[in-house]
């Protein structure tokens, strides 16, 4: 078997989280009395670290931190439950586990929320570990989250047989920073150009295509 471990991004890779994320952003911007971002900007929020995305709106560190607090108000109550599992994901995860592959989640979303979401969508049985960002933003960059996950899972010595799967460039860049191979997925929120430019080793259109890499 070429790979024995796979780390999956969450938003845009396992679940379509656009509704919950967008509603949470709109709530935060309304509380901050900012104009509501356009559709393209709202879509760009899905995946990357949240604080970084608010700063890219031209806001100060302090403003962005307050916006994150408002975002989490809505997200914790409603937003994290407003997501849909992508077709083929359950069957693909089941087949990988049956093939002896250990599966993990590595997400820029706070770990506290990520664990609840995985339970809510009834997928906890597939994953050996769920790793995410810290609530204080000290661990928010994807490379740091992946390093943390590899260490917590005690597989940091198995980089040659470990793969990262994600839909955005930061997933691919984070994988490279940890000497992991990577797979970019086209059914999420990134596109082929973004994933190829970031250096994805493989790019797939459907989750089931992962099974062809083994």
Q: Check if CATH label 1.10.150.240 holds for domain 18-81.
A: yes
For the segment 19-54, what is each residue's pLDDT rounded down to a tens digit?
999 999 999 999 999 999 999 999 888 878 889 999
Which tokens in the block code for residue 185?
């997925």
Which tokens in the block code for residue 167?
């839909």
For the segment 195-207, what is each residue's pLDDT rounded down to a tens digit?
999 999 999 999 9
**Is 27:73 a contact under the CB 8 Å cutoff?**
yes
Maximum Cα–Cα distance across the chain = 53
CATH topology of domain 5-16+84-213: Rossmann fold (3.40.50)
Domain borders along the chain are 5-16+84-213, 18-81
The whole-model pTM stands at 0.89
Quickly count: other Cβ atoms within 10 Å of residue 143's Cβ. Answer: 15
- Predicted confidence at residue 138, as pLDDT, reads 87
Confirm whether 5-16+84-213 and 18-81 share one CATH topology: no
Q: How far apart are CA 108 and CA 99, in angstroms?
A: 27
Active site residues: 9
3-state secondary structure of 164: strand
């Amino acid at each position: 078997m070429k790979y024995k471990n796979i780390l999956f991004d969450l938003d845009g890779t396992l679940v379509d989280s656009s509704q919950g994320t967008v509603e949470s952003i709109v709530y935060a911007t309304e509380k901050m009395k900012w104009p509501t971002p356009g559709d393209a900007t709202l879509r760009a929020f899905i995946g990357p670290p949240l604080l970084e995305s608010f700063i890219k709106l031209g806001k100060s560190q302090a403003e962005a931190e307050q916006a994150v607090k408002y975002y989490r108000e809505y997200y914790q109550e409603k937003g994290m439950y407003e997501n849909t599992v992508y077709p083929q994901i359950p069957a693909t995860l089941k087949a990988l586990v049956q093939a002896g592959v250990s599966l993990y989640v590595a997400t820029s979303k706070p770990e506290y929320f990520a664990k609840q979401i995985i339970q809510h969508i009834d997928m906890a049985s597939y994953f050996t570990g769920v790793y995410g960002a810290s609530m204080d933003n000290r661990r928010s960059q994807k490379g740091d989250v992946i390093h943390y996950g590899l260490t917590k899972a005690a597989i940091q010595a198995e980089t040659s047989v470990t793969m990262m799967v994600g839909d955005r460039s930061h997933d691919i860049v984070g994988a490279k920073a940890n000497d992991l191979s990577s797979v970019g997925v086209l059914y999420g929120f990134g596109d082929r150009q973004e994933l190829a430019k970031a250096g994805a080793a493989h790019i797939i259109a459907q989750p089931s295509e992962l099974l062809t890499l083994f």
